[in-house]
Amino acid sequence: MLNARALDPAPAHVAIIMDGNRRWAALHGLPAVEGHRRGVTALRAAVRAAIDRGVARLTVYGFSTENWRRTPHEVDLIMQLCAASARSESAGLCAQGVRVEVIGDLDAFILPARAAVRDLVRATAQNSRLTLSLALNYSGRAEIVRAVQALARDVERGRLRAADVDEAALRSRMDAPGAPDPDLLIRTGGDFRISNFLLYQLAYTELMTLPVLWPDFDEVAFGQALDTFGERQRRFGA
């Protein structure tokens, strides 16, 4: 049941760095993949909580470009889990009115994972209750580079004057051009860094680091984070 603070306006856009799967598995004497599996359960809870609190967009850091540095065995298991989860979660997400989109370079994923995620995006395309944006093979720096390259091509081809390159032009060429900037970034696992996530979009986002490891994150933790956000006064640099 939601507490009294649930009546406060919710942030429109919440971003989450889902950190701590491997540490959770190690603490419980389990292989790393079990932490990732429990992480899917935590994401399911976060989606429910976001809907309950009236959040319109939830962006989660699912797989960074740096994650390719992990062992081939772990990466392969993550790819398998990604494909299986995309298939198994589709019906439930549709029932909740969740639309899924992807930011990042999904082309680098193995075919089964890539196909399953794209099928999930298509299956949920008409939903409108919550947008769940999955950052997969994502790098904030790479996203900015892609946008700048697109601007350069348009200038080179005469479609755009260099003098007309502004923030709006850059944003329109980023991975989710219509998305508002996150109001709140939650990082689980206790670390204090943004790890190459949404570097352009986080300029005035409220940052929150929680000690809880991602597999233990639940609706209560999400609600408490939103309650704390509601107590902050945002100044946007003023």
Whether pLDDT at 238 is above 90: no
Instruction: Provide the strand spans (E) within 92-179.
Output: 98-103, 130-138
Give me the DSSP letters along 59-72: EEEEEEGGGGGS-H
CB-based contacts of 166, cutoff 8 Å, min separation 6:
none
Rounded CA gap, 63 and 117, in Å? 13
Considering the entire predicted model, what is its pTM? 0.94
Q: How far apart are CA 188 and CA 173, in angstroms?
A: 30
Which is it for the CA torsion 136, 139, 140, 143, positive or negative? negative
Q: What confidence tier does 211 reach under pLDDT thresholds 50, 70, 90?
A: very high
Does the annotation count 67 as an active-site position? Answer: yes
Q: CB under 8 Å to 5, separation ≥6 — which residues?
A: 226, 227, 230
Catalytic one of 3, 8, 19, 216: 19
pLDDT > 70 fraction of the chain, expressed in percent and rounded: 96
pLDDT tens figures, 170-203: 999 999 999 999 999 999 999 999 999 999 999 9
pLDDT band per the 50, 70, 90 thresholds, residue 213:
very high
Phi-psi region of 29 (alpha: psi -120 to 50; beta: other; left: phi over 0): left
What is the mean predicted confidence (pLDDT) over 7-18? 87
User: Mean pLDDT throughout 106-110?
Assistant: 97
- Looking at the predicted structure, is the pLDDT value of residue 124 above 80? yes
pLDDT at position 6 is 45
Residue among 3, 21, 52, 67 flagged as catalytic: 67
Q: In whole angstroms, what is the distance from residue 15 CA to residue 138 CA?
A: 14
Q: What is the mean pLDDT of the chain?
A: 95
pLDDT at 1 over 70: no
User: What pLDDT band is residue 8 in, cutting at 50, 70 and 90?
Assistant: low
Domains, the chain: 17-230 (3.40.1180.10)
Which residues, at least 6 apart from 237, have a Cβ–Cβ distance to it below 8 Å? Answer: 204
137 is catalytic: no
- On the question of pLDDT at 115 being above 60, the answer is yes
What integer pLDDT is reported at residue 4 of this predicted model? 41
